Every structure is written in C-alpha cells, then in structure tokens.
C-alpha cells in the first residue's frame, strides 16, 4: 500500500506577499521548531486541479501544525509537511479571512528557493508528496 499522497500542480506567479510572511520572526522561529527548517523568504505558488482542492481543504481542517502569532495583529496559519522533488517543505494555509488566492492556488514554503533548487520556472508542473496518514486521522 502506498503510504504517500501526491498532488501535481502548475507553478504560477503569486502576489508577492509570501516573503513578508516568511520573514516574520515568529513564523521563522516556529517553522524551525515545528518543521525543522529555517525558511527561505518567499513561497512557491501552485495551481492545483479542482479534484485536489478537496484534499487540501481536508488537510486544512486537520490543522496538522499551527503557526500561532504572538499577538492579535496577525492570524494563525496552518502548515502540513510535504516533499517537493525530494526537498522538505510545507503547504502553508492562512486563516480563511486573510486568504488572498483562489482555493486552487496553494503556497509552499521551504528552506530553499524551490524554483532554483529544482530548476523550475512559472508554467512548469511539480508533484508534492505527503504522508497519507495525515488524511486518515
């Protein structure tokens, strides 16, 4: 039995706010503690097929790992570890009230700039792998 799920998505431009979020001190600290890596300042944005949106929404409801802000000026974020071309990363999902992308656009954080590390560009397709047990809790 396969112990991993996969989602394939197309790399798309974001709105250039990922770097702000990933450079916040509390996000940096919690990512290091909870995910085990220091964040690269930015995110990789993927447009996923509609059938994968349900899987992502289910993960969001699981709240696998929560990034908790130190004060009410920021909202919580939820992350779930993934592997992108063998590189550790995480899908990051902001609270619904501050979501800036359509539901079929997901953001990936990592310790490296994934486009450079994997030799990818906008429009390329990439596959995320994550532990199947996260959906079976």
Nearest to 43 by CA among 1, 73, 9: 9
pLDDT of 52-102, one tens digit each? Answer: 888 777 766 665 788 888 887 777 778 888 999 999 999 887 656 555 557
Per-residue confidence band for 17, with pLDDT thresholds at 50, 70 and 90:
low
Domain count, the chain: 1
- For the four alpha carbons of 35, 36, 39 and 44, in that order, the dihedral sign comes to negative
Tell me what the mean pLDDT of segment 113-132 comes to: 91
pLDDT of 36-65, one tens digit each? Answer: 999 998 889 999 998 888 877 776 666 578
| Percent of the chain residues topping a pLDDT of 90 | 34
Question: Biggest alpha carbon distance in the chain?
Answer: 44
Tell me what the mean pLDDT of segment 105-122 comes to: 94
Asked if 65 and 15 touch (Cβ cutoff 8 Å), the reply is no
Nearest to 112 by CA among 94, 133, 85, 137: 85
Whole-number pLDDT of residue 1? 46
Structural domain range at position 69 = 4-135
CATH number at residue 112: 2.40.30.30
The CB-based long-range contact list for 74-81 (8 Å cut-off, 24+ gap) reads 74/24, 74/26, 77/21, 77/27, 79/31, 79/34, 79/35, 79/109, 80/130, 80/134, 81/35, 81/130, 81/131
Whole-number pLDDT of residue 99? 56
Please list the residues that pair with 79 across neighbouring strands: 65, 92
Query: Beta strands 65-67 and 44-47: pairing type?
Result: unpaired
Whole-number pLDDT of residue 83? 92
pLDDT at 4 over 60: yes
């Amino acid at each position: 039995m396969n112990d991993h799920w996969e989602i394939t998505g197309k790399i798309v431009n974001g709105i250039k706010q990922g770097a702000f979020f990933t450079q916040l001190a509390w996000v940096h600290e919690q990512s290091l503690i909870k995910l085990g890596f220091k964040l690269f300042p930015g995110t990789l944005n993927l447009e996923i097929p509609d059938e994968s949106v349900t899987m992502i929404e289910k993960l969001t409801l699981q709240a696998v790992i929560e990034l908790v802000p130190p004060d009410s000026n920021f909202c919580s974020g939820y992350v779930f570890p993934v592997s992108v071309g063998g590189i550790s990363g995480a899908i990051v999902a902001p609270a619904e009230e501050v979501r800036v992308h359509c539901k079929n656009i997901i953001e990936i954080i990592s310790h490296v700039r994934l486009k450079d590390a994997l030799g990818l560009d906008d429009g390329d397709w990439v596959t995320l792998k994550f532990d199947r047990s996260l959906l079976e809790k």
